[in-house]
Amino acid sequence: MCGIFGCIIREGEAVKLITDGLKRLEYRGYDSTGVATIQNGQMSIRKDKGRIEEVVSNLRILDMEGQIGLGHTRWATHGAPSMENAHPHTDSNESIALIHNGVIENYLELKDELLEKGHIFKSRTDTEVIPHLIEEEMKNDIGLQEAMLRVLRRLRGSYALVVLSTHEPDRIFVARNESPLVLGISDNGTFCASDVPALLPYTNQVTYLRNGEMAVMEIDGYQILKISDETRVGRETQEITWSPEMAEKQGYKHYMLKEIYEQPNSLKDGLRLQERYLDLLTQFLDRGKEVFLVAAGTSFHSCLAGSYILSKIARITSIPVVSSEFMERYGSTVGIDSVVLTVSQSGETYDTLKAIDQARMRAATVLGITNTVGSTLTRVSRAYLIQQSGPEIGVAATKTFTSQVLVLAQMALRLAKSRGKLSQDELDELDEKLQKVPDWVEESLEKLADPIEKLAESIMDEELFVFLGRGISSATALEARLKVLEITYVPSLAYPAGESKHGPISIIEDGVTCVFVCPQGETRPHIVGSIMEMKSRGARIISICEEGDSDIIRLSDQVIEMPKGIPEVLSPIVYIAPMQLLAYKLAVMKGLDPDMPRNLAKSVTVP
């Protein structure tokens, strides 16, 4: 969601670090940019709707002086993108500048109270009530910290807040509830940001703020307090091993492309999971009478693939559920015997965290798979695994999908072993194939770059795509559809191929492009029938199949041939790679920015 950066430094101008930090958070998606600094006790604020470069140059933001300041990139939730609605927001005297990520649920009631007291609002945001409330509290002759604590206790909803004020020109105050906020420290000063990549050029020593905490930043350190009772919290800093270069594009035109090509390596890392955590997670999973796999978006597609894998390898029935639907659907049945395995790249997705809250309240065992060390998901899960994909900057998830499925496959293998569900030979063979997955992905990406480019050229003007697969390949088809849809904006459908004759087939007519995912395996004979159904209605058939699969090749107009020997149960990890590349190429050919699809954010931390 919104990007946040703040710093107090000894050397240099804060504004330089703020604008660089905000640029590293661009992947979170945004519509407006704003900065505030203090120099000689004077506050300056510049903000507007638009991209960082644009706003920085139009408003000459780099001329702003001071060694303390904050910056924000806004992703609208209340009030349209505009200069007035851009952050920072201020109190009546412009002595408090505040930036916020999240949603204040009770802002209307707070605003009414302030309006009655004569406060005038410039924006339509929920955020603006906060500096006005602080101003109001300070009339009681209390300091900024006390005023902020009183206000924070009144706020309902989610927030990561950063406050700069001429009342205390050498300090920055931050607070968190549900929206992520991380603090950093170096010889040059202290920093805060909504996400680690913004801090990496300045420090790798960080502390994650937790829900219900506030921190007071000064030049040489920060003090964390509980908002409820002001008790001091002692927390060690953590060392982040991601280098700044790891979070940059490394010569690729877009982060998405770089991340697609990083998959052979991220998958190798994904095979190096810590044994004892893998064991712990599988033991918990094994104890559940019912197993839910809960996630959103791409992570949900990982869960969908995971449910086939758990069933086929470990003979475990699991129920994949979209996190925003979890409570409505299973809220009254989830309980002490349920295991809720949640999957979230960011570990901060609002809907997923809400589902976890509810599951925990009903005494279910919550397990997590995430890419983000120190994220909320890691703190609220009974046990968790870090999927080891490395930072993913492109908004469209690519390498994190394949790592998640790989983690789920490893869990399934463990379970199959402990439950005695597969013979030693079967286990050894699957394990051997699992180890080959990174190489298969590498081989496919190398061989298929040109064919995918040509394929993309031939279909770039299509106005509709239909993705179809059977069994586990229906998860691959859904994920391929999501990639194409979210970055090319071309309306697209995805269905289990067998289901398409129950309705979706009605849209098939001459020339409609149908993409079939058809690895070798149990479902392979059935997919032929599905292809014929579509072909006989005039569809143009594109198939992604095993190299040399003559039946499929004969029936298709265009084919993408994949390496031989990939077992169907692991196929989503490999078969999705050319589909990601296809989506990427289509977006670039259409002149779109695949890293920043419209209306989307990398981490959806609001309801």
| Residues assigned a catalytic role | 2, 602
Residue 4 contacts ligand F6R per CB under 6 A: no
Nearer to ligand F6R, 512 or 604 (CB): 604
State both tokens at 259: 């991340």
Of 461, 463, 466, 453, which Cα lies nearest the Cα of 542?
466
Residue 604 contacts ligand F6R per CB under 6 A: yes
Q: Which of 77, 349, 520, 580 binds ligand F6R (CB under 6 A)?
A: 349
Nearer to ligand F6R, 91 or 595 (CB): 595
Give the C-alpha separation, 293 to 320, whole Å: 4
Residue 101 contacts ligand F6R per CB under 6 A: no
What distance, in Å, lies between the first and last C-alpha atoms of the chain?
A: 11
Nearer to ligand F6R, 90 or 349 (CB): 349
Nearest residue to ligand F6R by CB is 297
Nearer to ligand F6R, 215 or 369 (CB): 369
Residue 266 contacts ligand F6R per CB under 6 A: no
Residue 346 contacts ligand F6R per CB under 6 A: yes
Nearer to ligand F6R, 135 or 595 (CB): 595
Give the C-alpha separation, 471 to 519, whole Å: 10
State both tokens at 71: 């910056």
Return left, alpha or beta for 591; rule: phi > 0 is left, psi -120 to 50 is alpha, else beta. left
Q: How far is the CB of 301 from ligand F6R (least distance, A)?
A: 8
Q: Which of 127, 165, 207, 352 binds ligand F6R (CB under 6 A)?
A: 352
Q: Which residues on adjacent β-strands are paired with residue 224?
A: 215, 233
Binding to ligand F6R in span 152-211, by CB under 6 A: none
Distances (CA, A) of 274 to 208, 286, 534: 22, 18, 46
Q: Which of 204, 345, 387, 580 binds ligand F6R (CB under 6 A)?
A: 345
Q: Do 92 and 135 contact (CB within 8 A), yes or no?
A: yes
Residue 397 contacts ligand F6R per CB under 6 A: yes
Distances (CA, A) of 511 to 294, 589, 598: 37, 21, 28
Of 397, 386, 383, 347, which Cα lies nearest the Cα of 269?
386
Nearer to ligand F6R, 147 or 296 (CB): 296
DSSP 156-209: -EEEEEEEEETTSTT-EEEEEEBS--EEEEETTEEEEESSGGGTTTT-SEEEE-
Nearer to ligand F6R, 193 or 583 (CB): 583
Q: How far is the CB of 408 from ligand F6R (least distance, A)?
A: 13
Residue 341 contacts ligand F6R per CB under 6 A: no
Binding to ligand F6R in span 279-338, by CB under 6 A: 296-299
Q: Do 164 and 69 contact (CB within 8 A), yes or no?
A: yes
Residue with tokens 């804060």: 14
Residue 513 contacts ligand F6R per CB under 6 A: no
Residue 396 contacts ligand F6R per CB under 6 A: yes
Q: How far is the CB of 349 from ligand F6R (least distance, A)?
A: 3
Binding to ligand F6R in span 481-510, by CB under 6 A: 482, 486
Q: Do 472 and 497 contact (CB within 8 A), yes or no?
A: no
Residue 389 contacts ligand F6R per CB under 6 A: no
Of 265, 255, 248, which Cα lies nearest the Cα of 388?
265
> What number of chain residues touch ligand F6R (CB under 6 A)?
15
Residues that bind ligand F6R (CB under 6 A): 296-299, 344-346, 349, 352, 396-397, 482, 486, 603-604
